[in-house]
Amino acid sequence: MYQIDYNHKIHIHFIGIGGVSMSGLATILARRGFTVSGSDGKLGPATDKLSACGIRVYEGNLASNLDDKPDVVVYTAAIHPDNPEFARAVELDIPLLKRGELLGQIMKNYTTSIGVSGTHGKTTTTSFLSHILLDAKLSPTISVGGNLPIIGGNIHIEDGDTFLTEACEYTNSFLSFFPTMELILNVEADHLDFFKDIDDIRHSFREYARLLPDDGQLIINSSIKDCDYFTQGLKCEVITFGPKGYVSDYTYADEKITALSCYSFRVVAPGKPSDGELVSLRVPGTHNILNALAAIAAADSLGIDPAVTLSAIGEFTGTDRRFQKKGVLHGVTIIDDYAHHPQEISATLAAAKDYPHKKLHIIFQPHTYTRTKLLFDDFAKALQDADEVIVARIYPARETDTLGMSAALLSEAVSRLGTPSVAFEDFEDIEDYVLTHCEEGDVVITMGAGDVYKIGEELLGNR
């Protein structure tokens, strides 16, 4: 694999540079003095920011974009061999790196490289850690999967020796990483368009854990089924966290709702005061107790002052699309959430139960036909905790409909289990439905990883 060395500046070209992750990596390298160029199908605000960093951006995927013959070309899973730039790179014998491989190469240039993995909770936990590392003045470079207000986006670049990133399992991209510390938050069935089954997923997470050096640290949720499967034979330090009822190095006690479904709790761990450190969260849901606990364990392992850690966690108010209050329309509160997996839906609805409301209406947009089909029954069950479910058209992402899935089918399954449900293919019809069926005091949550958030924004724009 082609090696990226911060001490050896080269020319790196990105195919599809305008994407959230690709643009962030390109910016990191440009700030480090590399010559960076890239292409995108359409220029806009994202590519304008790249140009402002001195990055040359081409519109369109043209073979001529590689006339300068860069030293290496970076691409994503969405790029196929018939892409003109990809084909030209092969013709010119230019080394090719997948996005995940480049991210792994970047990690090698830092003394401390932290990868936060798991089926869900990655963005929130990475955000907790971002606040902690910044408040501890470690001058970190950060790549997070959402818009984090404290860094004004999803990328933060400083000159310190600490790198923090989310580690996504899809297409096994995290197996190209070089972490010195890993967090494994949970391991559930997901991305079944790539993985064969849950055993295949578990195998990948075990291989990810085995990437750690002997002097590294693995921080893992003890409530993951057969947790020893992931840790057996590791020479690195293993630190566990988990809910009550599991043997863990870090757990919690005395959890209480403070306001709007947020919790306070006391940390129970070796070396902590006998009465526990009091943590007050400003993000809702009991699931965020575990996310915060994982971040606390990581911070302690890094030697960060616990007082700094607790203060930083209390400052975090959330990232975009994670139980984010968007506004109020005629007395109806509109919230947006990224949940697109049954367990995430259950966690979000559990948090919503403690949020003041008369009725809870969920506008759920399934994400990909494959996920909808393979987790169909689990989706229908998870949505039962709402008072009403409005199912939007399936967001296809990288797929085409060859599986016979539809919003109407999922809506019917939800209704059969006892929760009123309707389905619409057009967002405008959903907006009209909300305006005529929701009453003052109700809560509407737009939910999914696609473009369902636009419904809430359109409604609030029509006030």
| Backbone conformation region of residue 76, classed left if phi is above 0, alpha if psi is from -120 to 50, else beta | beta
| Nearest alpha-carbon partner for 74 in 44, 41, 110, 104 | 104
| Nearest alpha-carbon partner for 209 in 93, 141, 117 | 117
Burial bucket for residue 63 (CB in 10 Å: 0-12, 13-18, 19+): middle
Told to judge if 166 belongs to the known catalytic residues of this protein, a careful annotator would answer yes
E strand or H helix that includes residue 171: none
Q: For residue 147, give every residue at least 6 positions away whose Cβ sits within 8 Å of its Cβ, in sequence order, or none.
A: 153, 154, 319, 320
Tell me the two tokens of residue 463.
């006030």
Q: What span, in angstroms and rounded, lies between the C-alpha atoms of 337 and 285?
A: 12
Q: What span, in angstroms and rounded, lies between the C-alpha atoms of 22 and 36?
A: 12
Q: What span, in angstroms and rounded, lies between the C-alpha atoms of 231 and 226?
A: 10
Told to judge if 122 belongs to the known catalytic residues of this protein, a careful annotator would answer yes
User: What does residue 97 show for φ and ψ, rounded to 5 degrees?
Assistant: -125, 135
How do beta strands 277-284 and 262-268 pair?
antiparallel
Alpha-helical segments (H) within 180-328: 198-209, 228-231, 287-301, 306-315
Q: Which of 27, 123, 240, 309 is catalytic?
A: 123
E strand or H helix that includes residue 329: strand 324-329
Told to judge if 373 belongs to the known catalytic residues of this protein, a careful annotator would answer no
Q: How does DSSP assign 81-140, residue by residue?
A: TTSHHHHHHHHTT--EEEHHHHHHHHHTTSSEEEEEESSS-HHHHHHHHHHHHHHTT---
Q: For residue 166, give every residue at least 6 positions away whose Cβ sits within 8 Å of its Cβ, in sequence order, or none.
A: 115, 116, 117, 122, 123, 126, 143, 144, 145
Q: What span, in angstroms and rounded, lies between the C-alpha atoms of 368 and 86?
A: 26
| Nearest alpha-carbon partner for 16 in 42, 52, 55 | 42
Q: Which of 166, 169, 188, 431 is catalytic?
A: 166
Catalytic residues, by residue number, are: 122-123, 166
